[in-house]
Structure 1
Amino acid sequence: MNKLIISFLLAMSFSFANAQNQVSGTILDASNQQPLEQVSVYFPQLEKGTVTDNSGAYQINNLPTGTFKIVVSFLGYQTISRTITITSTNVTFDVSLTESAIEMEEVIVSTPFHKLQSENVMKVAYASVTDLQNKGAITLAEGITKIAGVENVSTGIGIGKPVIRGLNANRVLVYTQGIRLENQQFGDEHGLGVNDAGIESVEVIKGPASLLYGSDAMGGVLYLNPEKFAIPNTNSGDVNLNYFTNTAGVSSNAGFKTSSEKLKFLVRGAYTTHTDYQTGNDERVTNSRFKEYDIKTGMGYQSTNFKTEIRYNFNSSDLGIPEEIGIQSTDRTPMMPNQTIDNHILSSKSSLVFSKSSLDLSLGYISNIRKEFEEGEEGAALHMNLNTFNYNLQYHLPKMGILETIIGAQGLHQTNSNFGEELLIPNATINDFGFFGTSHVHLNENNDVQIGLRFDHRGINTEQSGILGEQDYIAPINKDFNSINAALGYKVNFLNSFIARLNLATGFRAPNLAELTSNGVHEGTNRYEIGNENLKNEQNLQTDLAIEYKNQHFEVFVNGFYNSINNYVFIAPNGNEIDGNQVFVYDQQDANLYGAEAGIHIHPHPLDWLHLESTFQSVRGKLKNNDNLPLIPANSITNTFRAEFSNKDSWVKNGYSFITLNSVFNQDRISTFEDATDGYTLLSIGLGGTVSLFKTPLNVRITGNNLLNKEYFSHLSRLKYDGIANIGRNISFGISAPF
């Protein structure tokens, strides 16, 4: 394996001397044959593209010889995906686009074959970060809850982590900059740790994705796509400002990017600050304030057959840990207890393109420095440094008729080191290695199959902590976990407008360090936790059936799933107390989760600007002994009335407005140590668009969430146990301007 990586790195020092080809053409409106400006023309595999000029013309240079997928997309028109073969120096590819009220399709990056969602065998949810911001999300962790089947375990507004179909923490894998994010995600009060500045879109795989990503992806994957580099021979910059009335919060960022024909560069800096949030009772939640600094930068090089990029992200957060409604203050500096988190993410992604195949290598290094401070103590009571190196090597084999195949190897080396007085988990070393193969079989125009197989190994070694015989002693462990996983999917198009997908996939998760080794008071949860070194792999099988119907003016989908998990790890009280803290112990038992997401979208003719949307989501989770699983989201239904205005002669371009009612049902199907929560309904209203000021286009938006100032308790809020409600009325103002 090492020799293979070294050979790849050596190959990065040169480009192959193949002909530098060019694809050009004209994009027209199919109804009137008028040219279309600013249409995106993009080669997903090559990550290279451009936009059309005012005459509808485009040109993409320095392309390798071979067969590649090309995607043509433009807002308000049907997205076109074609495969073209480049065998000569100059290739002409003209397209006529048909108007469509259906949203523009995007290329899905989190699955390996660079296909549009309509072409994918696996259903993947997609949302642009701009759309999430338009809905008034304060943080990225809150924004993803707008996606059906995705929720958020929260500690106030500054700390949140994703929940996909009832699974969270180490059961959901987060990818950013093309690498897996490791930031002690096992902890309930450990947030997502990613600022939305410089993130272009979010993709969610709702189900086991261990075949593609290995351990910890058994519940799904949250895939964050960074902003793209500028198209060749252009540069651009922008400034973005947001203000939130509830917290007097300010979120700002500015970025610049430039590209020549081969070299690329971008940089973006962001700053966020919030005071304590107010509940529906207009009481401020003491110490829910937080501050965040973020910088993202990247450099890239692309020639005919070779491309590479390096990206770096530094994120520094200072987060208060709220415990009560006490001092009513608008201070911005967190009080104790609080946590400071510094994340350094360095990644590289490189590709070599041959005439009929390609080789991709992603490398990543993440340094996560977490410190927790407690009242009355000097210095950090808890100080953990988590350092992770990971790699992902994939070879796209030459296409054989209807068969596309990818083989690959992935792995990581991780160390955890403690420097504080308290110990949450011991010093440890983790090593992962896995290899896989997956194939997409395009049987005919209407039938596709995807299959795959994978083997993984994880080794965990920890050091002894404490003194043998004393209460807080943690014994050293040396354990290995192995797993074989498979996936099978089938997609069929039928009756012109229907698509059905059936996916069966297994996944696994090795127990994390907290589950194996905990022995002490977890200050974030105020309980004494005891680990279990005899825990086995979690192994699951999920069946997912999705059916959707779509025409020009009506869409409906139903997506049902059944997830069977062997050796599900859970924590529960054993009835004892240590030093006044209730004792919780880790154990295992088989479990099942099942549920569905469904939705309808109507945009009636001739009122194509009008959109009526409704989505419903439900999940149940039960242990084998019939006890309910904890942290299962309540059923909910979201109804939205949305209008879009794109009249070129209007003073507002790309205008929109919406009214949303989010109704959450009672959640009384709870675990033995949870409290039931009542249902509630929240009203949101928003509007925005692009206006011109001194010939400068400004994107403006105003969004009001929980406009009726409802006092409510989310079932996934960790503060509900202290009688602390979620955020009350919040009106956000946003403006974005180019420079």
Structure 2
Amino acid sequence: MIKQISLLFSILFISTNAIGQDYCNLVVRGKVVHEENNEPIMGAYIWLLESETGAVTDNQGNFRIQKICPGEHTIRVQYLGHREFVEKLNIKSNTNLTIRMLAKDVQLEGVDIHGHEDALLTTNTISGIYGEELRNSRGQNLGETLRKIPGVTTFSSGSSIQKPVIHGLHSNRILILNNGVRLEGQQWGADHAPEIDPFVAREISVVKGAETVRFGPDAMGGVILVNPAPLPVKGGQSGEVDLIGFSNGRGINGSVGILGGSHKVKGLGYWIQGSSKIAGNLQTPDYMLDNTGVRELNFSGALGFSNSRLGTEAYFSHFQASIGILTDSHTGNLSDLESIIENSRPFRNPEFTYAIQNPQLRVDHQLLKLKGHYHLAKGAKLNLQYAFQRNHRQEFDRRRGERNDRPALDLVLFTNTLDFSYNHQTRKNWNGSIGVQLIQQANSNIPGTGVIPLIPNYDMLNVGVFAIEKFTSGPLEIEGGLRYDFRHIEAARINRGGILQQDRFNFNNFTAFLGAMYAISRNITFNTNLGTAWRPPSINEQFSQGLHHGLAAIEIGNPDFVSEQSLKWMNTLSYSHSKLNVEFTGYANIINNYIYLNPTEDRFVSLRGTFNVFEYLQTDAFFMGGDLSAILTISSNWELFSRGSVVRAENTKENSFLPFIPSDRLETGLSYNFLTGISKNKSRISLSNLAVAQQTREPDFDLAPAPPAYMLWNLGIQTSFKMGEDKLNIGLQVTNLFNETYKDYMNRFRYFSHELGRNIFLKLNYEF
């Protein structure tokens, strides 16, 4: 490993010195956008004719051409369906351009698509999943999909519920944007998976650094952007049908999506999509997991119109899920609880069934977005977006001697958000934005549960104002921002003494960041970002006072908590070559007043069962770690990849370790690409190994010791067939190929059971 790192830095040193010895070292940087709506164009070709050098724009429309000699140059930009752009340049120094391309009427095989969702331009590190890689991950939930990105893991409650973890942080510290809308559900629990249908996504991106200046306190640990396909602005129609079967749970998952544009009304586009999923009891290598079935039924759609000045969009999504909770996690008495933890697996051996019994979760989430933008002169733009969300969450307990059709937790959360911003961009060195964000929430407990609510009724109002500015000069980008937030919360609950308790809280803070990106050479880029962040305590951390059914645990909060405050420094070094791509990210994060859920030695015994007690605590913490990803193209057929991450977290007040911190992991794989058949269809086979170390940095007390290290093998085979103008993609994937028995430290149910055994996926994707 040390030799490999030394070799990498030798390559970087040689490349850096080589660039300094070249006399023609000027840089032309810029952005290519649509003339009619100023949205970025990905895949445009840029040529400097005299120097015979060029570039292709990335997914944010950006390009960079280096090693340019001073003098007269002709720049030519080409993009399918658009008029060619040609302009004379007199390059005397590093030059920055914004190039706007005008669409022309041409006959295309597919649908001409213009995006309306602005790319997130940030000096923070962004990693994405899209294209073939995203299609191959379909059939998995959002958390499983994101584990393909180094530095991103999951926090689980059983095998069906997973939520993303970025650099050791999760839940209310991670903001998820669903089509540009901050997802607002009951996301405070480890058993509260994001209410997003992964089939909606055309691209999923992860920002690993704090983005509280852009998005507010909930972006303290990072941002996940789930973006659907942009709406077409020309006539035509395309679509996809997915059908996925998987062996573990004997499940089936399907989706249909249609994307189109109007022939009669230029600029009018739409898309509609629906999906469904059903699975029964899951299985470890040695036994069945009782009551672990899943049901999902989802729908989404959008309608939009745009021209050279105005863009509008209406979006609606509905997510509905029923999830069984492992029966053996709810024990009847203290002896049973202690016995199952000591046994480390359930005592019962149930039969397979699709039926979902209590305990179970039911979630129903609706999202409505109305968005508009208006283009002003010189590339400026006004943005206005309103979103409404309704999240209904029910948790059902196994009631002894009572009606089981009555939920023990019944919460409805209403959220209204209003975002207004002004963006400016010019052909000069500066661009940026200023904005205002309003968030209003109301959470209600529906009466009739028969138990004291775990979470109180509350109302929340958050007001934030921000300003971000970026300076670009040749290979250098410098970006800075400042934000102020004010949050007011009113909460009311009946405490365990039967007394009405009402509380009011005001939280406010400034956040700021300063970041830079520098292209050391054509192949090497360095990013650095230093930012402050803050997060007020969430309602569960303040007021939890009972049984959390989804986790089969008693949780105790503290209303005296103060806001978390952090300072994170993150650096990323990227090397990109035709044969080798390497990216390394290192970070350090100081978090004062860090709030965490800590297991205790107490047990709670009642007529409803016996449960472990967890308590929310507050301390000072220090996080540090690194992510590494590398792809080596050995030949036109063979490709080797590796990705890994390391996280270290310490309770600095007590000089001890924090609970539920991901352990070290490294995934390495080899793939072979080949052509088959008369039509030379592209096919691929890959084999990968995931090695996860034992978490030896445990807190002073845990209900059970951290599980041992484990190693899993995964296999994937993909191929495609042309069917006229349509295309059929077929995939076969096997996870846990050798059916290894293991436990993961980040699974809250590791006290009661093992992880899943072998799972075989058969995937059919039809594009038309």
Deviation at 1:197, TM superposition (A): 1.4
For 1:5-154, what aligned pairs fall within 5 Å after superposition? Answer: 58-60=80-82, 83-85=98-100, 112-113=120-121, 121-128=123-130, 130-135=132-137, 138-154=140-156
2:582 equivalent in structure 1: 556
Return the alpha-carbon distance in structure 2 between the equivalents of residues 505 and 109 of structure 1: 25
Flag the 1:621–1:111 CA change in 2: closer, same or farther, 3 A.
Answer: farther
Question: Does the 8 Å contact 2:298/2:320 carry over to 1?
Answer: yes
Q: Does 1:721 align with 2:751?
A: yes
Secondary structure of 1:476's aligned partner? strand
Deviation at 1:237, TM superposition (A): 2.4
Question: Does the 8 Å contact 2:117/2:180 carry over to 1?
Answer: no
Q: Does 1:269 align with 2:295?
A: no
2:158 equivalent in structure 1: 156
Return the alpha-carbon distance in structure 1 between the equivalents of residues 45 and 229 of structure 2: 27
Flag the 1:22–1:519 CA change in 2: closer, same or farther, 3 A.
Answer: closer
2:694 equivalent in structure 1: 666
Question: Does the 8 Å contact 2:431/2:470 carry over to 1?
Answer: yes
Q: Aligned to 2:764, which of 721, 735, 739?
A: 735
Question: Does the 8 Å contact 2:359/2:395 carry over to 1?
Answer: yes
Deviation at 1:601, TM superposition (A): 1.6
Deviation readout 1:30-67 (Å, 9 max, x if unpaired): 9xxxxxxxx9999969xxxxxxxxxx973359x9x9x9
Deviation at 1:707, TM superposition (A): 0.6
Question: Does the 8 Å contact 2:515/2:527 carry over to 1?
Answer: yes
AA matched with 1:656: R
Flag the 1:500–1:456 CA change in 2: closer, same or farther, 3 A.
Answer: same
2:669 equivalent in structure 1: 640
2:245 equivalent in structure 1: 243
Question: Does the 8 Å contact 1:662/1:682 carry over to 2?
Answer: yes
Deviation readout 1:580-639 (Å, 9 max, x if unpaired): 6554332211101110011222113xx233211111210011111122111111101111
Secondary structure of 2:629's aligned partner? strand
Deviation at 1:305, TM superposition (A): 0.3
For 1:265-664, what aligned pairs fall within 5 Å after superposition? Answer: 265-281=270-286, 283-324=287-328, 325=346, 326=348, 328-356=350-378, 357-376=380-399, 377-378=402-403, 379-397=406-424, 399=426, 401-419=428-446, 420-422=449-451, 423-443=453-473, 445-466=474-495, 470-471=496-497, 475-573=501-599, 576-579=602-605, 581-604=611-634, 607-624=635-652, 625-645=654-674, 650-664=678-692
AA matched with 1:717: N
Secondary structure of 2:542's aligned partner? helix
Return the alpha-carbon distance in structure 2 between the equivalents of residues 19 and 517 of structure 1: 51
Return the alpha-carbon distance in structure 2 between the equivalents of residues 402 and 336 of structure 1: 60
Question: Does the 8 Å contact 1:23/1:60 carry over to 2?
Answer: no
For 1:197-212, what aligned pairs fall within 5 Å after superposition? Answer: 197-212=199-214
Question: Does the 8 Å contact 1:599/1:614 carry over to 2?
Answer: yes
Taking structure 2 as the reference length, the TM-score comes to: 0.80
Deviation readout 1:642-666 (Å, 9 max, x if unpaired): 223468x854523222110111111
Flag the 1:658–1:43 CA change in 2: closer, same or farther, 3 A.
Answer: closer
AA matched with 1:687: I
Flag the 1:233–1:243 CA change in 2: closer, same or farther, 3 A.
Answer: same
AA matched with 1:330: F
Flag the 1:210–1:21 CA change in 2: closer, same or farther, 3 A.
Answer: closer
1:78 equivalent in structure 2: none
Flag the 1:29–1:573 CA change in 2: closer, same or farther, 3 A.
Answer: closer
Secondary structure of 1:475's aligned partner? strand
Q: Does 1:233 align with 2:235?
A: yes
Return the alpha-carbon distance in structure 2 between the equivalents of residues 22 and 173 of structure 1: 24
1:712 equivalent in structure 2: 742
Question: Does the 8 Å contact 1:662/1:681 carry over to 2?
Answer: yes
AA matched with 1:705: T
1:35 equivalent in structure 2: none
Secondary structure of 1:720's aligned partner? helix
Flag the 1:613–1:145 CA change in 2: closer, same or farther, 3 A.
Answer: same
AA matched with 1:126: G
RMSD: 3.2
Secondary structure of 2:575's aligned partner? strand
Return the alpha-carbon distance in structure 2 between the equivalents of residues 58 and 631 of structure 1: 49
Return the alpha-carbon distance in structure 1 between the equivalents of residues 382 and 576 of structure 2: 36
AA matched with 1:616: G
Return the alpha-carbon distance in structure 2 between the equivalents of residues 611 and 107 of structure 1: 32
Deviation at 1:83, TM superposition (A): 2.6
Identity in percent: 26
Secondary structure of 2:501's aligned partner? coil
Return the alpha-carbon distance in structure 2 between the equivalents of residues 125 and 133 of structure 1: 16
Question: Does the 8 Å contact 2:279/2:293 carry over to 1?
Answer: yes
Question: Does the 8 Å contact 2:40/2:60 carry over to 1?
Answer: no
Secondary structure of 1:330's aligned partner? coil
Flag the 1:560–1:43 CA change in 2: closer, same or farther, 3 A.
Answer: closer
Question: Does the 8 Å contact 2:726/2:767 carry over to 1?
Answer: yes
Flag the 1:44–1:360 CA change in 2: closer, same or farther, 3 A.
Answer: farther
The alignment of Structure 1 onto Structure 2 pairs a total of residues equal to 658
AA matched with 1:83: T
1:5 equivalent in structure 2: none
Return the alpha-carbon distance in structure 2 between the equivalents of residues 514 and 287 of structure 1: 27
For 1:686-705, what aligned pairs fall within 5 Å after superposition? Answer: 686-693=716-723, 696-705=726-735
Flag the 1:459–1:19 CA change in 2: closer, same or farther, 3 A.
Answer: closer
Secondary structure of 1:600's aligned partner? strand
Question: Does the 8 Å contact 2:436/2:466 carry over to 1?
Answer: yes
Deviation readout 1:92-143 (Å, 9 max, x if unpaired): 9xxxxxxxxxxxxx99978644xxxxxx522101112751452575322211
AA matched with 1:291: R
Q: Which 5+ residue runs of structure 1 have no aligned equivalent?
A: 1-17, 31-38, 46-55, 68-80, 93-105, 114-119
2:28 equivalent in structure 1: none
Return the alpha-carbon distance in structure 2 between the equivalents of residues 19 and 381 of structure 1: 53
Secondary structure of 2:214's aligned partner? helix
Question: Does the 8 Å contact 2:185/2:413 carry over to 1?
Answer: yes
Flag the 1:694–1:284 CA change in 2: closer, same or farther, 3 A.
Answer: farther
AA matched with 1:405: G
Return the alpha-carbon distance in structure 2 between the equivalents of residues 203 and 323 of structure 1: 35
Deviation at 1:250, TM superposition (A): 0.4
AA matched with 2:729: N
Return the alpha-carbon distance in structure 2 between the equivalents of residues 412 and 317 of structure 1: 26
